[in-house]
Every structure is written in structure tokens, then in C-alpha cells.
Amino acid sequence: MAAQRPATIDEYIRAAPREGQPHLRRLYALLKRIAPEAEEAIKWGTPFFVEPRFLFAFSAHKAHLNFTPTAEGLEPFRKELEAHKTTKGMLQVPYGEPLPEALIRKIAEHRVRTVREREDDAFW
């Protein structure tokens, strides 16, 4: 019988690699404080925060987590992100390194402000 897929973010974190769970719990708590009104959901197997548009997501991998505030969410912080591994829309944090909480907080707060100011109907 196949394992049941996580239905909540707490279940997702419990199913993640053990070494990543402390980072994931801290990240989840941080994002909940920044976007307390956001809907929390598992979409495409990934924790999402939606208000009613996509704010950000995160995902657990074997040796790292990804924080995904979109390319638009990361762009203003490219200089501060130079010391970290990123893609166009994601910040990658290895489990063996400290979670850059202050930087993630700034990015997430910026993303919430930006999304709330939008007047279009687009989800992304």
C-alpha cells in the first residue's frame, strides 16, 4: 500500500527528512507570523501560503529546503542573496547551515506587501 500524502503542513514536515525538520518548523512558524491570515494548503505536494494569491511556498528535499517567494519576491534582495544558493524564484538552504531567518523575514514581508497592493486577479 502506498504511503498517504501529507494533507497539512504539519504532516508534510513530519514526513520530511529528519535532519531538515528543525529548519522546516522554524521556517513554517516564521511564515505563519508574517502571514497569519493566509490560507495554508498543500498544492502539488508542496506547502503553500495563499492570500488569496500565492504568497510563498517551501519544500523539503534530501539535504536542503527551498523557500519560494517567486522571482518577483527575490529580485529586490539579490545583493543580500549573493552568499546563498538561489534560482530565479527560490532560496535554497542546506540543512547543515543556519536558517537565514532575518533575510527570509524581510523577503516574506516584502512579498506580503507586494501581493496585497496588487489589483489584478492573477494567482501567481
In this prediction the pTM is 0.93
pLDDT in tens, 53-89: 999 999 999 999 999 999 999 999 999 999 999 999 9
Q: What is the pLDDT of residue 120?
A: 81
Radius of gyration (Cα) for the chain, nearest Å? 14
pLDDT in tens, 100-122: 999 999 999 999 999 999 888 88
E strand or H helix that includes residue 39? strand 39-43
